[in-house]
Amino acid sequence: MPSIVSDPAAWRKQRAALEGTLGFVPTMGNLHEGHMALVRRARAENDHVLVSIFVNPTQFNQRADYDAYLRTLENDVALLGREGVEFVFAPDEKSMYPDNYEMQVNETVLSQQLEGKFRPGHFQGMLTVVLKLLNIAGATRVYFGEKDYQQLMLVKKMAEAFFLPVEVVAVPTVREDSGLALSSRNGRLTPAQHEKAVLLSQLLQSAAANDAVAQKLDAAGFKTEYVATEWGRRLVAAWLGDVRLIDNVQAKGE
């Protein structure tokens, strides 16, 4: 089973004693096969692997969404153990925010559109906690999935801007057989909603124009926030009931 560390200073001491490369997978827990794809890539490319599990309060726009996020630490650790992960970093909020979130990372261009427009403050919270985690982890490489594509771009931009000594590795989105992108939020869908959610990826990959995709999603019972083509990707965010879903695919002709 993985060794669980909760204190940042204790992990940094342990990291200093490790020889070789370290692959790092930051997560908020409630792990699924998408996370396991990141873990397996990290295992294949590094001597050691660290996975963090921390439900970061500063990147949630709604307190109810934060409260509803499933905490499954015992099961997560068991899954990681079966994948050969050696170390789990599972801090509490006080350890991660001893300054009460008075210090924040703020990007001023890329973060203002799409997700940033509909989730003000989300990227500040995400970038701030990722910078903290990277400083604590001391990783050679850090692994992010492409499903949160705008997040991935921002992490890469931050790493370059702040000269962080870590390689940011992108891993393709893992999907169900139906095509639905795996997400921890999928577990909050009812069976009927889960079946309907497949439309999201089907329409995203169709030849229909962005406006037409949004109209079809709304007609099917979604509440669409955006369907847009940016950065060589076609991206969507839409609510289904009280669950917010996002996805992206390579844009046609890119």
Q: Which regions of the chain carry the CATH code 3.40.50.620?
A: 3-171
**Would you state the pLDDT for residue 66?**
86
Q: Which is the catalytic residue, given 32, 35, 48, 194?
A: 35
* Beta bridge mates, 250: 233
Query: What value does the mean pLDDT of the chain take?
Result: 96
pTM of the model: 0.95
Q: Where are the beta strands (DSSP E) in the chain?
A: 3-5, 22-27, 48-53, 87-89, 141-145, 167-171, 223-230, 233-240, 243-250
In CATH terms, is domain 3-171 a member of 3.40.50.620? yes
Question: Average pLDDT in the 111-136 region?
Answer: 97
Predicted confidence (pLDDT) per residue in 76-104, tens digit: 999 999 999 999 999 999 999 999 999 99
DSSP string, 173-197: PPB-TTSPBP-GGGGGS-HHHHHHH
64 vs 94, higher pLDDT = 94
Q: How far is CA 6 from the centre of its chain?
A: 20
* Lowest-confidence region among 6-10, 77-81, 172-176, 181-185: 181-185
Is residue 194 among the annotated active site residues? no
H or E segment at 16?
A: helix 8-16
Superfamily of domain 184-246: Pantoate-beta-alanine ligase, C-terminal domain (3.30.1300.10)
Predicted confidence (pLDDT) per residue in 25-53, tens digit: 999 999 999 999 999 999 999 999 999 99
